[in-house]
Every structure is written in structure tokens, then in C-alpha cells.
């Protein structure tokens, strides 16, 4: 919406927005642990899984970064009730689809359930942001 006035969102808008921020904050943390190859990251995976991650194409790692950082910024945008968050949610979704698509196609997913949940949540957050914008909760 391009109006200068926005409609006050319901309480559950804030709950979903905070959940989105926590979820994407966890994604940023996961990316940083992988990027810096931390002890806690190495402890979570087998040697075979670490080898797969180490040999992942750079563009897949880049889409991981784009997905989580765009999602985190989009979450902040939602909390600030800004319509630009919708574009960031869409960018995050596209990056998630590319990254998770590559992982699924190559059978690299350590948990199919988690991979599917990541994709579904990315779609859910885009849908929620677009609905929030349509209802006038974002400016």
C-alpha cells in the first residue's frame, strides 16, 4: 500500500513476526557457524556430511546467505511494519528454493523433513507479508 496511514495489525501479527525473526535469526546463526567452521557446527555433523558441505558449490553457499540474511532483514521490516519487507521475503524464498532444490536433487539433505519445513516456512512468510501488506498493516 502506498497510503501514509496504516491499519493497526492484530496481536497475532506481532507473534508471527517475532517467530519469523527468531527462525531467521537461527538461520543466520547456522550460516555463520558453517562459514566460520565452528566447533559447535562440526559437532553437529558426521565427517561425511562435513565433507559434502565443504565441497558445496559457492553459489549454493551464497544462496544460503541470501536466504537467511534477506529473511532476517524482512523479519525486521515486518516488525517495523514496512512494505519493503515483502520484496525481501520474496528474495529469501527464491534463494531457499534454489538452495534446497540443489540439496534435494543431489540427495544431500540430512533431514528431508527439515528441508521441506524450511521451504514451507519460506512460502508461509511470503504469504503472510503479502496479506499483511494487502490488509494495510504495512506502509
Predicted pLDDT at 4 = 56
Helix 58-79 and helix 11-35, axial crossing angle in degrees, nearest 10: 150
Residues in the chain: 139
pLDDT of residue 6: 73
φ, ψ at 137 (rounded to 5°): -80, -15
**pLDDT per 10-residue tile (average), the chain, 139 residues:** 72 98 98 96 94 95 98 98 98 98 92 95 98 97
Amino acid at each position: 500500500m502506498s497510503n501514509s496511514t496504516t491499519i493497526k495489525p492484530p496481536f497475532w501479527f506481532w507473534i508471527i513476526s517475532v517467530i519469523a525473526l527468531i527462525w531467521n535469526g537461527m538461520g543466520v546463526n547456522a550460516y555463520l557457524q558453517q562459514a566460520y567452521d565452528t566447533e559447535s557446527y562440526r559437532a553437529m555433523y558426521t565427517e561425511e556430511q562435513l565433507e559434502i558441505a565443504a565441497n558445496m558449490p559457492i553459489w549454493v553457499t551464497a544462496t544460503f546467505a541470501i536466504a537467511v540474511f534477506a529473511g532476517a532483514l524482512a523479519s525486521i521490516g515486518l516488525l517495523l511494519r514496512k512494505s519493503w519487507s515483502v520484496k525481501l521475503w520474496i528474495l529469501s524464498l527464491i534463494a531457499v528454493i534454489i538452495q534446497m532444490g540443489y540439496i534435494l536433487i543431489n540427495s544431500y539433505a540430512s533431514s528431508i523433513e527439515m528441508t521441506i519445513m524450511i521451504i514451507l516456512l519460506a512460502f508461509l512468510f511470503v504469504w503472510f507479508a503479502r496479506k499483511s501488506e494487502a490488509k494495510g498493516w504495512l506502509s
